[in-house]
Structure 1
Amino acid sequence: MISFILCLALLIIGYFTYGKVVDHTFGPDDRETPAVRINDGVDYIVMPQWKMFLVQLLNIAGLGPIFGAMQGALWGPVVFLWITFGTIFAGGVHDYFSGMMSERNDGGSIAEITGKYLGGVMQNVMRVFSIILLIMVGTVFAVGPAGLIVTLCQKGGMSGILSTTLFWLILILIYYFIATFLSIDKIIGKIYPIFGLCLIIMAIGVIVGIYTNPAFTIPEIWSHFYNMHPSGTPIWSFMFITVACGAISGFHSTQSPLMARCMKSEKQGHFVFYGAMVAEGIIALIWAAAGCALYQVTGGLNTGLAEILSGGQSAAIYDVCSKTMGGVGVALAMIGVVVCPITSGDTAFRSARLTLSDWLNIEQGSFKNRLRLCIPVLGIGAVLGIGNAVGFIDYTVIWRYFSWTNQTLAMIVLWAASMYLVTQKKNYWITAVPATFMSAVSCTYFILAPECLGSIINNKASDGSIIYNTAVAYPIGIIFAVILLIVFLRAARKHAKA
């Protein structure tokens, strides 16, 4: 348990130390913010700092720091290191700069920000990429909760229309339309803080349950500093891709502009953006600890955890909560597995609307203009969601690519932040180092992952297990990252001479 406490302390210390370094590097000042200057009563609205923090936390979290962290725990307590240092030096930096660069550019979406600092080609790529990604996230986070509600209804003995996925899917999509269309303070600003507190309370309950039950012991990093994954999946770069939201996630950069449009002062950025990411890192650390502490280890491998995870997100979360908190935990788990994905889905569709509005230059103050974008965005989501519910569309193949595209997006945003700092003549290494690191991670994963090039370069053992060709993938990933760093440094020098 000592290593868990040390990592928890480092996250808290990191917020007050390195977080301040990041904030000082950006240099917030007293200029008028978009929320004050534009204030359209829809997307640009001043919100209290505490409320922005809780909304931002739920925007970027959902089930990410829960299920992703538990999956990361398959590799053992070594995942604590990635969650801790990834949050401090990569995720917090990524979220802070994506939010603050948006704030400095009239609350612009991440596609527009990226294009400004990486060029027109990348801008158009990011526009299309962001919209597809956001609609996909929103749709899956409609279909998933609908299925979970049906499962709960069936377990409760309910039948008829209440036990049909299509019924709940339509209700969720109607809610998504309302949340996407109305001003951000009408629904999101009112209910998100409540559910954000539920997410925090659930995490506190889990760690208290672990510490008060002598049957549970969080293993130490130094005594388990090896790969505990039952399938032998390499730590690099699979663990770094899998944990995602618990350390760094490109999806966060699509959400940060929502709060960038609600800040009264730039000096709130440290607490709202960097602080929310640290809070998510702490939540992820707790759930990773639960994954390591609650389940049987066989032959030095996390076989018990792998078994419970094979039952899906809801089964795993339900099991952890019931073991650590009993009946209260079950109630919280039911809220978590249903509400958390929904709160990521509605803001995904809202971000898609805003990305389109920035791209097409359609102001969103009037009902008519919002309808022009809400109807097609939610319409596509409805078609895809209903298609999945009735069995015509299978998301399992598409969704396997999300983890890689998510971290690749984070990589691109960090490079954009680096170029921003170059233009401001400030220390760009604070973003260039994590950008280089994530470039190596994304490239290596793309080569090794079975859903990417892994089916070509990897081999299979006689028992059917995958033999990963790391001898090829690791050097290529490093070379790719070095090339991008060299290209960036040349661009930085060219800008300095201009």
Structure 2
Amino acid sequence: MVTLVGGIVFLVLGYFTYGKYIEKNFLIDPDRATPAEVLKDGYDFVPMSKSKNAIIELLNIAGTGPIFGPIMGALYGPVAYIWIIVGCIFGGAVHDYMIGMISLRNNGAQLPELASKYLGKPVKHVVNIFSILLLMLVGTVFVTSPASLIESITPSWLTTGTIVVLIFVYYIISTILPIDKAMGKVYPWFGGILIISTIAIGVSLLFGGHTIPNLTLGNMQNFNPGGTPIFPALFFTISCGAISGFHATQAPMVARTSTNECEGRFTFYGMMIAEGVIAMIWAAASMSLFDGQTLSQMISAGTPSAVVNQVSILLLGNVLGTIAILGVIVLPISSGLSAFRSLRIILSDYLHIKQDTIKKILMVTLPLFAISFVLTNMDFTILWRYFTWANQVTAVIALFISTRYLFLKDKNFLVTLIPGVFMLYACVVYIISEPIGLRMGLTGLTYILAFLVSLAILGLFWKTGQTQKAGLDPNGEILNDQLPIGTFANGN
């Protein structure tokens, strides 16, 4: 119990202390006009209130990630707490804030455009590929995971396939609506269900007489029955809830609806902290109610949704437990919708298809839904494996964009470089060792080779940064934080 409560306290303190420093380091301008005001189009660029922006950001970034990830991360034992707390405060929340605010300064630009500006135009194509791949996988995962949860609490005649079709119908309808109608009207209700259900799970866990594992020197061991090493697997298993590149594709969407830079710390940094709290509660619940062997068998037999079902019913009973499951269901449905919306924007920007009519919107969106529908037939564990890989590579790209931004502005860039280098090394180790990469396994040679590759990438990044800074025009567009209006297909 002490670790769970203490961890949540640390997360909240991180928002008020380190979050404040990150905001100060960025140097906000409360009087600066925002894209929502300057580029208002009634569809994607729409001024909305701070509270609506915050709940949209939370539901966009959350999905099943801060629940499914910690459930699977619980297999590594209480050490998962450390990654959630440290990763969230010093990595994920900084990552989300920086991309959200840099996008806000650049007419609501998406990640590929920001990569082009701050890392070089050739990088834009690489980032586009990763962003499109990531969002397609996210959208698909966040269709299959709620479908399996809904099936567990509905009559047997409502099959997973039928539920998947219904979710896609909802997505199509929401896609053609302006953001303030598609998300602004519905998400506050979704958010209420999420918050109430999360609090209920947490309170029941704390006061229900359950033994909650604490983080001590005696129980730092890996609970994974398969013996999977903690590094780098833990840092890919728990991504949402600690640090996630998917968030870098979502923050620009909210950057297009924010009306003041002062809202950034609450909207971007704060909602990542909230996601960390959700992750702590579900990791603690999974470790408290199941041993490693049982948890592993449940995940293998029915995906993490089986664990969600059992945790909710065991802690809250049938009625309240079902309500808690509904709280989990709204997360992936809302994040899946935002994933496809971001995917449409990124793809239309890349192909220069202006999104000013329903016909053009559907022309981009419907083929994406068709591809995703086919992917829903793949095994969940395979989808998740590729999602986590693409997700954390995207996080590295976002942190390097943020580092370059701060470097060019003569600000403290170590706040993004340090987590960026750590995740870069983890990604290279993962790619070299895993079956989706070079299949070399985790050997001493793997770690050495990963170190050398990471060092080479970092050296290239530093050299190009020095060259870019040396060639800056004091009155140039990078220092002025502005991309030319008309850069984006949606943007006028």
Same fold (TM over 0.5): yes
User: CA–CA distance in 1 between the matches of 2:210 and 2:242?
Assistant: 29
User: CA–CA distance in 2 between the matches of 1:233 and 1:91?
Assistant: 24
User: CA–CA distance in 2 between the matches of 1:143 and 1:324?
Assistant: 25
Q: Equivalent residue for 2:431?
A: 446
CA change 1:407–1:313 in 2 (3 A) is: same
Task: Report matched runs for 1:64-463 at 5 Å.
Answer: 64-153=65-154, 156=155, 158-159=156-157, 163-296=158-291, 302-310=292-300, 311-385=302-376, 388=377, 396-454=381-439, 457-458=440-441
CA change 1:325–1:252 in 2 (3 A) is: same
Q: Note the alpha carbon deviations across 1:36-85, whole angstroms, 9 max, x for none.
A: 11110001111111111111111000111111011111111111111000
Q: Equivalent residue for 2:463?
A: 490
Q: Note the alpha carbon deviations across 1:204-250, whole angstroms, 9 max, x for none.
A: 21221122122433333333122222211111110011001010000
User: CA–CA distance in 1 between the matches of 2:193 and 2:67?
Assistant: 13
Tell me the C-alpha RMSD between the 2 structures: 2.0
Q: Equivalent residue for 2:32?
A: 31
Q: Note the alpha carbon deviations across 1:263-292, whole angstroms, 9 max, x for none.
A: 000111100000010000111011111122
User: CA–CA distance in 2 between the matches of 1:130 and 1:482?
Assistant: 24
User: CA–CA distance in 2 between the matches of 1:425 and 1:219?
Assistant: 42
Q: What percent identity do the matched residue pairs reach?
A: 42
Q: Equivalent residue for 1:470?
A: 443
Displacement of 1:101 after TM fit? 1.2
User: CA–CA distance in 1 between the matches of 2:379 and 2:306?
Assistant: 21
User: CA–CA distance in 2 between the matches of 1:252 and 1:306?
Assistant: 28
Query: Would the aligned equivalents of 1:15 and 1:275 in 2 still touch at CA under 8 Å?
Result: yes
Code of the aligned partner of 1:426: K
TM-score by length of 1: 0.89
Displacement of 1:257 after TM fit? 0.9
Q: Equivalent residue for 2:486?
A: none
CA change 1:306–1:378 in 2 (3 A) is: closer
CA change 1:312–1:381 in 2 (3 A) is: closer
User: CA–CA distance in 1 between the matches of 2:145 and 2:222?
Assistant: 31
Code of the aligned partner of 1:452: G
Code of the aligned partner of 2:396: M
Displacement of 1:125 after TM fit? 1.5
Give the unaligned 5+ runs of structure 1: 297-301, 459-468
CA change 1:384–1:471 in 2 (3 A) is: closer
Q: Equivalent residue for 1:462?
A: none
Q: Equivalent residue for 2:479?
A: none
Query: Would the aligned equivalents of 2:63 and 2:142 in 1 still touch at CA under 8 Å?
Result: no
Query: Would the aligned equivalents of 2:54 and 2:271 in 1 still touch at CA under 8 Å?
Result: yes
Code of the aligned partner of 1:481: S
Stretch deviating more after TM superposition (230-239 or 5-14): 5-14
Code of the aligned partner of 2:390: T
Give the unaligned 5+ runs of structure 2: 472-492
Q: Note the alpha carbon deviations across 1:114-141, whole angstroms, 9 max, x for none.
A: 1211112210111122123212322332
Code of the aligned partner of 1:74: L
Query: Would the aligned equivalents of 2:71 and 2:304 in 1 still touch at CA under 8 Å?
Result: no
Displacement of 1:426 after TM fit? 1.5
Stretch deviating more after TM superposition (445-454 or 340-349): 445-454
User: CA–CA distance in 2 between the matches of 1:394 and 1:2?
Assistant: 38
Query: Would the aligned equivalents of 1:108 and 1:358 in 2 still touch at CA under 8 Å?
Result: no
Displacement of 1:151 after TM fit? 4.3
User: CA–CA distance in 2 between the matches of 1:207 and 1:166?
Assistant: 32
User: CA–CA distance in 2 between the matches of 1:372 and 1:281?
Assistant: 37
Stretch deviating more after TM superposition (99-108 or 135-144): 135-144
SS of the equivalent of 1:220 reads coil
CA change 1:73–1:144 in 2 (3 A) is: closer
